[in-house]
Structure 1
Amino acid sequence: MLDFDTAQQRLLDLPITDIPVETISLQKACGHVLAQDVTATLDMPSADNSSMDGYALRLQDYAPDRALPVQQRVFAGQTPAPQEPGKISRIFTGSLIPEGADTVVIQEVCTEEDGQVTITEAPVKQQHIRFQGEDTRAGSVILSKGTVLGAAEIGLIATQGIATLPVYRQLKVGILTTGDELVPVGQPRESSQIFNSNAPMLTALFHTLGASVQHVLHATDDMDATRNALITLFAECDLVISVGGVSVGEKDLVKPALEALGASLDFWKVRMKPGKPVALSSVNNVPVICLPGNPVSAYTVLTVLVSPLIRKLQGRSQCLPSRMQATLKTDRVFNETRDEFLRVRITQDEETGLLMAEPYDRQGSGMSSSLPWANAFARVPAVQKYTGGDRVWVYPKEDWIR
């Protein structure tokens, strides 16, 4: 068995071909990955403007108890006349600063009467002014290639007036579930059968990761059915995920089906719990990841082991999300021969401020109820005893499944 870190790195080291690039509108860019740097086309702000409602003046014209006549009223979107000596301009948030003015005084410390303004608090030069280019400068890179576009990134791009973007085409994923015992959700089942929860679960996981699921196929425990399903997926997808059928049972047919298509396994079995039976292979340069059939195991493996590869295949610059340290909150002792990924809920201790990781009370791989309850996975190293009070690395789900 490969240790977890080696297996994860082997996935990240996979050579990938050029990812197709497409140009899309800014309105449709959310969730896509930038295929090139975005360079600012103009300064932001594009001109000096006021950050407050108030009055603009030349500081040299201020004197305690001196009333200054209002020269003009300047609203956002208007071009003001140059500031005249000895006068003051009424100004509003976002209004351009009149040429020659160097200070803005907030309206709360000003009194205006009959067109004359008295300032009751001494101003400081250049206060309350947003200066041209203080946010971004024309010609500077504001977002780098490989950035995932969210609302904040799209908002920044919009300030530059950029309406279309080159992005990497969404990763096309094919999912293959296997097994005679599985029945599609919503269909009648026999007592010996179970519903195929892996198909909708993994489809949802890929959706949150920003990938496009092209096919979700199911193969019975039949060599021809398994091989034909794989042929379809390899022909139309950038990544293939199989679920189940990769162990050593008489009806575990994924491995021989892949070998019949000319593939060989790059690795098989990872020293992690849940999720030991994991395999990596490829056909015609299309990688296939073989996940264990147990839903909890499949979810865990895809989240903490495989998701960095998915990000790489999407063209992202950041493939490994952050981890954090937390203190185990439990009376149990954990001591496995494999790295164990506990489903935990992260909370903050009100007294100490420390992050606490409370394991779900039933950690068996058949406990699907643990997945929506947990908000993170806590990694307990192999062949070491861990219990309450020990510090562990945790993988927050909000970072690892997006």
Structure 2
Amino acid sequence: MLDFDTAQDRLIQAAVRPTRSERIPVAQALGRIVATNVHATIAIPPADNSAMDGYAIRFADVEAGTRLPIQQRCYAGDVPEDLKPGHAIRLFTGSLMPAGADTVVIQENCSEDNEHVVFQTTPVLHAHVRIKGEDMSQDKTIILKGKALNSGHIAMLASQGITEIDVYPIPKIGILTTGDELAQPGQPLQVGQIYNSNAPMLSVLVQQLNAQVHMTRHAKDTLQDIQDALTALCAECDLVLTVGGVSVGDKDLVKPAIEGLGGEMNLWKVLMKPGKPVALAHIGDTPIVGLPGNPVSSYAVFTLMVSPMIRVLQGRRHAMPRVFYGKLESNKTFRDSREEFIRVQARADVDGFIYLTPHEQQGSAIISSLAWATGLARIPVNTDINNGDTVAYYDFKHWGF
């Protein structure tokens, strides 16, 4: 069995970064991965303007008690006159700064009298002036290649007048579940059957990462049925996830099915809990990850090992999300001969530390713990971990999106 870190790295290395891109409307680009560095085509703001409602002045002309004639009233979108010495121009938020003005005095510190303005305080030089390019200077790199676009990026692109952007294609993910004991949700259960929760669970996990579930198949526990499904999936998908059938039971046929199709097994079994029966293989150029059949184990392996693979396939700059650290809150001592990833709820205290409370039932059959947990805490192999000890914390919000 491989140790967890080595296995995780092998899966990441098995994913191939995209080489082609496509151009799409910015309005449809949320969550997409930028394929080139994006540069500012204009300065933002494009000209000096007022940050507040007030009066544009020459700083040297004004002190507390000064009274100046109002030369002009200039609204946002208007072009102001050049400011005459000893005058003020009434401005509003976003109004262009007049040539010759260097300061804005906010209206709260002024009073008007017969087309004159009286300044009640001495101004501060350059106060309330937005300088041309102070947000984005022309030609500045504003978005780096490999970034996942969020609403803030969309705002920046729109402010630049950019309507289309080059992004990487969305990876196509295939899902294959196996097992004669599985029934599809919505169908009546027969004796000895359970519902197939892995397929919808994995579909949502894939979609949360903004990848595409291109094809889903369920195969009976026969070599031929599994091979037929694998052949169809590998022909159309960038990554195939199989669920179940990768252990050593009589009906664990995924491994022989892959080998029978000429596939190469690159990894089989990982020193982790839950999730020991993990496989990595290739059929042609298509990577295949064999996940454990237990939904809790499958969820953990997807979060920790498959999500970084999908990030590589998407072209993201960084495959590995951030790992946090928190203090365990438990009366139980955790220790195992395998690297263990326990389901925990995290809370941030006023002291700034993260505290992690384990779920009472850590068995791999406890599906309800997945909805309860906020992430996974890592318990090092053959190490006693007690209340108050600091452990690595894999937050689902970072590792699942």
Same fold per TM (> 0.5)? yes
Moved more, 9-18 or 287-296: 9-18
Q: Matches of 1:327 and 1:16 in 2, distance apart?
A: 36
Deviation per CA, 1:338-378, whole angstroms, max 9, x where unpaired? 1111110001234x442100000100000011111111110
SS at match of 2:5: helix
Trace 1:10-159 onto structure 2 (pairs within 5 A).
10-14=10-14, 16=16, 18-159=18-159
For residues 248-284 of structure 1, what are the alpha-carbon distances to aligned partners after superposition, in whole Å with 9 as ceiling and x for unaligned?
1110111111011111211101111100000101112
Matched, 1:171 2:171: yes
Corresponding residue SS for 1:289: strand
Distance 1:110 1:17, change over 3 A: closer
Contact 1:19 1:169 in 2 (8 A): no
Provide the residue aligned with 2:370 in structure 1. Answer: 371
Alpha-carbon separation, structure 1, partners of 2:20 and 2:291? 27
State the Cα distance separating 1:64 from its structure 2 match: 2.9
Please give the per-residue CA displacement for 1:266-318, whole angstroms capped at 9, x wherever unaligned.
Answer: 11011111000001011121111000000000001000122111101100002
Superposed CA deviations along residues 310-329 of structure 1, whole A, max 9, x for unmatched, are 10110000211111110000
Cα displacement (A) at 1:154: 0.9
Give me the whole-angstrom Cα distance separating, in 2, the residues matched to 1:386 and 1:205.
30
Contact map agreement 1:19 1:313 (CA 8 A) in 2: no
- Alignment TM-score, normalising by the size of structure 1: 0.98
The number of aligned residues is 401
Moved over 4 A (4+): none
Question: 1:3-402 alignment to 2 at 5 Å?
Answer: 3-14=3-14, 16=16, 18-350=18-350, 352-402=351-401
Is the contact between residue 19 and residue 314 of structure 1 (CA under 8 Å) also seen in structure 2? no
Gaps of 5+ in 1: none
Q: Equivalent residue of 2:230, what SS?
A: helix
Distance 1:266 1:17 in 2: 19
Structure 2 gap ranges (5+): none
Provide the TM-score with structure 2 as the length reference: 0.98
Shift of 1:121: 1.1
Provide the C-alpha distance between the structure 2 equivalents of 1:286 and 1:19, rounded to a whole number of angstroms. Answer: 16
Alignment-mate amino acid for residue 356 of structure 2? A
Percent of pairs with identical residues:
48
8 Å CA contact 2:17, 2:315 repeated in 1: no
Cα shift at 1:15: 5.8
**1:136-183 CA-partner distances (Å, limit 9, x unpaired):** 111111101100011011111111111001100100000000000000
What SS does the corresponding residue of 2:202 show, helix, strand or coil? helix
Tell me the distance in 2 between the aligned counterparts of 1:64 and 1:223. 90
Cα shift at 1:17: 6.0
RMSD: 1.0
